[in-house]
Amino acid sequence: MSESKRILILGTGSIAHRHGEQFGLLPDCELVAAADTNRERAAAYAAEHGIPHSFGSLDDALGWGAFDAAVNATPDAVHAATTLKLIAAGKHVFCEKPLATNEADALRMTEAADAAGLVGMVNLTYRNAHALQKARAMVDAGEIGAVRHIESSYLQSWLTAAHWGDWRTEERWLWRLSSAHGSMGVLGDIGVHLLDFTGYGSGLGFKALQARLKTFDKAEGGRIGAYTLDANDSVAITAEMSNGALASIHMTRFASGNLNDLNLAIYGDKGAVKVWANHADSRLSVCLGPDLQTQTWRPCEAPPTPRNEKRFADALMSGRTGAPDFRTAAAVQRLLDLCVVSDETGQWLQAQ
């Protein structure tokens, strides 16, 4: 029987706790170390999750070296540098999204992992949604016919409500509002999920897009302490998909009344599916057959699907990279980059 894989958690902020919980449940994985530039935070994280070793830098962890793979939960701006260093050391990587902050870096990471024969996967979280997986299977099976139109949205409200804490005082939210701290705004933070959600759910690629990004005044002088609040808060995208269908895609942190809601409607010439998801649950409804004549939507059961952490563990045990992989995330990064350019130029841009 194969031995369990030893896992390093790199970066011990809020998302790392979810990874600690999920990887800690997998019999094929053993959490052996945690590393963070804040040495005390790494030690506290290790103690909380029963991890035997902690380090104050990635270099220190690599010097020790007794791990097979790393979960890269560092801030977006350092994903590329840290992942490339891990790959150079022969370590498999499960990276948080977005894979990088630009397509060039994302491709460098992809090519490095491929050349080294290492597993490189990305935590595009909403691939975990069982309703999304079921919807994709129905689209692939032709149950809704040819896709003609798509609507999708990702709605959060932490800029108008304090359910996740006070963004005005907490670093874990402030950095997401500041490009100087590595943030691509709502586009990079949740747009990466929504674009993957839309493309994966419909089974279609993106042919062309036009985007508008908007940043709202949120503090006097546009800054709070060291944080200049210049990252985008709302994004609206119109896209043409690879089969000619049009898509309306939007995301915001100002969606008052919505906690963390993803919505995807895929309309075909023989039926339609609607997916709702959040970080913990998802639902699917369908309009098929005779129901098209009465616009009747019915709930549809969707079987549970493995989480991305389990997919990564399975890939480690088999030696074969699973989905979503670095190349998929690099393709999404290309779309993010195009959205920025489209906003700056006001142009429709080819995505293929």
Sign of CA pseudo-dihedral 101, 34, 14, 321: positive
Q: Which fold has domain 126-306+334-350?
A: Dihydrodipicolinate Reductase; domain 2 (3.30.360)
User: Distance between CA atoms of 187 and 192, rounded to whole angstroms?
Assistant: 7
Return the residue matching tokens 């992989």.
Answer: 325
Q: What is the pLDDT of residue 1?
A: 40
User: Distance between CA atoms of 224 and 45, rounded to whole angstroms?
Assistant: 28
Output helix, strand, coil percentages for the chain, rounded to the nearest 5: 40, 25, 35
Residue type, 58: L
CA distances from 107 to 102, 194, 226, 323 (A): 9, 20, 31, 16
User: Distance between CA atoms of 268 and 289, rounded to whole angstroms?
Assistant: 12
Q: Looking at residue 320, what DSSP letter applies?
A: S
Q: What is the pLDDT of residue 312?
A: 97
Q: Looking at residue 351, what DSSP letter applies?
A: -
Q: In the chain, list all ranges with CATH 3.40.50.720.
A: 5-125+309-321
* All residues at 6 or more sequence positions from 42 whose CB lies less than 8 Å from its CB, including other chains: 12, 34, 35, 36, 54, 55, 56
Q: What is the pLDDT of residue 3?
A: 85
Q: What is the pLDDT of residue 26?
A: 96
Half-sphere exposure for 177 (CA within 13 Å, toward CB): 28
Q: What is the pLDDT of residue 172?
A: 85
Nearest alpha carbon to residue 260 among 74, 100, 123, 126: 126
pLDDT tens profile 80-107: 999 999 999 999 999 999 999 899 999 9
Q: What is the pLDDT of residue 97?
A: 93
pLDDT tens profile 298-313: 999 999 999 999 999 9
Which residue ranges of the chain lie beneath pLDDT 50? 1
Q: Looking at residue 206, what DSSP letter applies?
A: E
Return the residue matching tokens 């195009």.
Answer: 338
Nearest alpha carbon to residue 23 among 318, 270, 314: 314
User: Distance between CA atoms of 99 and 87, rounded to whole angstroms?
Assistant: 14
Helix ranges restricted to H, the chain: 14-24, 39-48, 58-64, 79-88, 103-116, 130-140, 171-174, 185-186, 192-202, 308-318, 326-345
Q: Looking at residue 324, what DSSP letter applies?
A: S
Provide the whole-model pTM: 0.93
Q: What is the pLDDT of residue 2?
A: 61
The phi, psi pair for 205, rounded to 5°, reads -90, 170
**Superfamily, domain 5-125+309-321:** NAD(P)-binding Rossmann-like Domain (3.40.50.720)
CA distances from 144 to 138, 206, 246 (A): 7, 20, 16
Cβ pair 352, 204 in contact under 8 A: no
* Tokens coding 89: 């050391």
Q: In the chain, list all ranges with CATH 3.30.360.10.
A: 126-306+334-350
Q: How many CB atoms lie within 10 A of CB 119?
A: 26
